Each structure stands twice: as C-alpha cells, then as structure tokens.
Structure 1
Amino acid sequence: MGENVVKLFWEYIHNADFDSLNELISDDASIWLPNTKEVFKGKRKYIEFNKKYPDRWYVDLEKLYVCGETVISVAKIFNSENTASFYVTSFFKVNNNLIEEIVEYWGDNGEPPKWRLHEKLSERY
C-alpha cells in the first residue's frame, strides 16, 4: 500500500497539484533534506515550500522499492525548458496510508569530469 501512496505523491508533484499532497502526508510529518541540512516540520510547511519553489518542475519516476514500511524511490526531476535536471533518492516512511517521514538526497545531473573521460575510465551513455 505504501507503494501506491508514493506513486501518487510523485504524480501530484509532477502535475504541480500540491494541495492534493494534504491527503497523503500526515499533519506532523517531517521531511528531511540532508544536502541542505533542512527539515520541514509538518505537511503545511512542506506543501508551501513546493508551491513557492521557482519554475515548473516535472518528474520521471525511475525506480521504486518497498522495504517493510519504507518505500524508496529514485526520480529524475527536470524543469519546463529541460535545461536543468536532478536526481532525487527518497526514503518514505508510510503508516496507515499516510507519509510520516521523507528523507531526500538530491544530486546534480550533469557532465562527468573531463579527466575521467580523457583517461577512458568511464564512458558516456
């Protein structure tokens, strides 16, 4: 069941339907962003953060894993012009069909360092 909650979460984010997140997130949820050392205490602040975030963003949900009460997702997030994109690995704690906690790790989606390509240590795909 937690898997369906997380799929719906990403669908709402993709559609910028942030008010609908109210039905998925518990009132006192904590959403952690370790990359920026932030925590959003309560769904109201997290939803407001999403509403105010600059630009329009879309989601390609690439992977979803269920591990007990934890659902792990990997998603590519990209802007409306497709000029910027990121990968986010998210750990959702779901209880009674409500998200109680999210921990999100964000990473840039960009070019590899030239030295690795030059030394043929990696290949572009």
Structure 2
Amino acid sequence: MVERDRMNLYWKYVAEQNADQLLTFFHENGVIRWHCTNEQFTVPEFIKANCEYPGKWNGKMERMEQTGNQIITVAHIWSDEVSCHVVSFFHMEQGKIKQLDEYWGDDGEIPEWRLNMKTGRPIL
C-alpha cells in the first residue's frame, strides 16, 4: 500500500477513535509527544487518550510530505463543537510509527487586533 493511502487510513482511524486499527500502525515501543501541552505517551496511553476523548469526530489528511523514514502530515480534525489542525512528524521504523511528534492548534477567528490592521486575507 502506498504511504499516502496508509496515512489517509491512519487519520480516518484517529477520527473514528478506532483503537484496534490505530494500534496496528505503531511500533510496540513507540513514543508519542504532544508538544503544545508538554505530554509524552506510550502507545497504549496514546490510544487511550485519543479513543476515549469525548464526542464524535471527523477528520481528513490535507497534506503529506515524506523524506526517507520521516513522514509529515497536516490534518484537519473536527466535531460539531471543535475544529483543529494538527501537524505531525512521524518517524517510521520497519513500516511502523516509532516516534510521533504532534502540534495541535484550535481553529478560530482572526483576532480583532489583526483585523484592525487590515492585513492578510482568507486562505481559499
């Protein structure tokens, strides 16, 4: 399977909170870091944090870049109440995720101080 297809499936399972399928992507000694909240997880901890998060979620990968054993993705994850974008750096070993470093950000409105500057424009 092409890496892009695998990563699309990965993000599908993240949004579905499908623990069994997510587990198949990780090296048994994988490490996951959420830098914005200064948290580090083992694979079982990550699966629990992701799959027991409240609510029904949707998601899609918007971009992927690959260099050697590193894959970088940008994904959009949302529910009826929340919308986030995440930039993820996957270090792969033998086809499995050995290390995952993620940067999650809430989507939101342009702050008023920047609106007042009358700079920029919406991304189309």
**Normalising by the residue count of structure 2, what TM-score does the alignment of the two structures yield?**
0.88
1:97 pairs with one of 95, 98, 111? 95
Question: SS at the partner of 2:120?
Answer: coil
Question: SS at the partner of 1:118?
Answer: helix
Query: Structure 1: how far apart are the matches of 2:82 and 2:13?
Result: 20
Deviations 1:65-116 (A, max 9, x none): 001110000011101x2x3101100000111111111000011200111122
CA shift for structure 1 position 8: 2.3
Q: Does 1:78 align with 2:68?
A: no
1:17 corresponds in structure 2 to: 18
In the alignment, is the contact (CA less than 8 A) between 1:2 and 1:97 conserved in 2? no
Unaligned runs of 5+ in 2: none
CA shift for structure 1 position 118: 2.1
Letter in 2 for 1:18: A
1:32 corresponds in structure 2 to: 33
Question: SS at the partner of 1:48?
Answer: helix
Query: Structure 2: how far apart are the matches of 1:84 and 1:68?
Result: 34
Greater shift, 12-21 or 68-77, is seen at: 12-21
- In the comparison of the two structures, how many residue pairs are matched? 122
Query: Structure 1: how far apart are the matches of 2:95 and 2:6?
Result: 6
Letter in 1 for 2:11: W
Q: 4+ runs of 1 displaced by more than 6 Å?
A: none
CA shift for structure 1 position 3: 4.0
Question: SS at the partner of 1:32?
Answer: strand
CA shift for structure 1 position 18: 1.9
CA shift for structure 1 position 15: 2.6
Greater shift, 4-13 or 113-122, is seen at: 4-13
Unaligned runs of 5+ in 1: none
**Normalising by the residue count of structure 1, what TM-score does the alignment of the two structures yield?**
0.88
Letter in 2 for 1:14: A
In the alignment, is the contact (CA less than 8 A) between 2:17 and 2:52 conserved in 1? no
CA shift for structure 1 position 27: 1.2
Question: SS at the partner of 1:47?
Answer: helix
